[in-house]
Amino acid sequence: MKRILLLGLFFITTPLTLLTAILFLLVLLHEGAPIGNRPALLSLSPPVAFAALPPGGAKFDEEITPTQALEETLRQFFQRYDSPLIDHTVFIIETSEKYNLDPRLIPAIAMQETNLCNKSKEGSHNCWGYNVTGKNYKFFDNYEQAIETVTKTLAEHYRDKHGLVTPEEIEKMYTPSSEGSWAASVRFFMDRL
């Protein structure tokens, strides 16, 4: 009889002891934390607090403009593919803004046409396959002249005169024999920028 009573007492007190221990742990976890910052129930990770900023400090008062972000993105893109256009990043952005053209279009076409100038004819500065037909190959004096000419042509001739804005629309005149592959590649690179 004593054994039955002891077993009964054991089966009753053990769950109560476990429940009490769990409640006690939950109270300890939540104790002292403000209501909005209390950890989730049964969260065993203590909150992390940092005592100091990293060496050199961090600047939180500066804002990065969209133009600065684009400039850095283009620089990294040109650097990744070892393109000579890296030295003309700001000029590409300024020229695109001057003609109200998406600044991603110029690098995307250069990537599609010549792997960002890496496969253009030596000394041509023509990274865009601009005015290249058969044996005819357009040479520019420098990259800035090429960037200005290509951007102006896309803005004034393609967009303003013919209403062609997207890579899919531009392809119809720029390289009509591509049947969508040129536009898909240009769109792919624009989306990465």
pLDDT over 70 percentage in the chain: 68
Dihedral over Cα of 129, 132, 169, 161: its sign? positive
For residue 41, what pLDDT is reported? 45
Q: Does the pLDDT at position 57 exceed 50?
A: yes
pLDDT in tens, 105-150: 999 999 999 999 899 899 999 999 888 887 888 999 999 999 999 9
Token code pair at residue 30:
């939540």
Q: What confidence category does residue 63 fall into, taking pLDDT thresholds of 50, 70 and 90? A: confident
Token code pair at residue 137:
């190959």
Give the class (CATH, top level) of 67-192: mainly alpha
Across the chain, mean pLDDT equals 80
Four-point Cα dihedral 86, 190, 168, 113, nearest 10: 30
Rama region for 185: left / alpha / beta (φ>0; ψ in -120 to 50; rest) = alpha
For residue 147, what pLDDT is reported? 96
d(CA 27, CA 143): 68
Mean pLDDT (whole number) for 150-166: 94
Mean pLDDT (whole number) for 88-108: 94
Q: Does the pLDDT at position 42 exceed 80?
A: no
Q: What are the sequence ranges of the domains in the chain?
A: 1-59, 67-192
Q: What is the pTM of this model?
A: 0.66
Q: Which residues contact 139 (CB under 8 A, 6 or more apart)?
A: 121, 123, 124, 125, 126
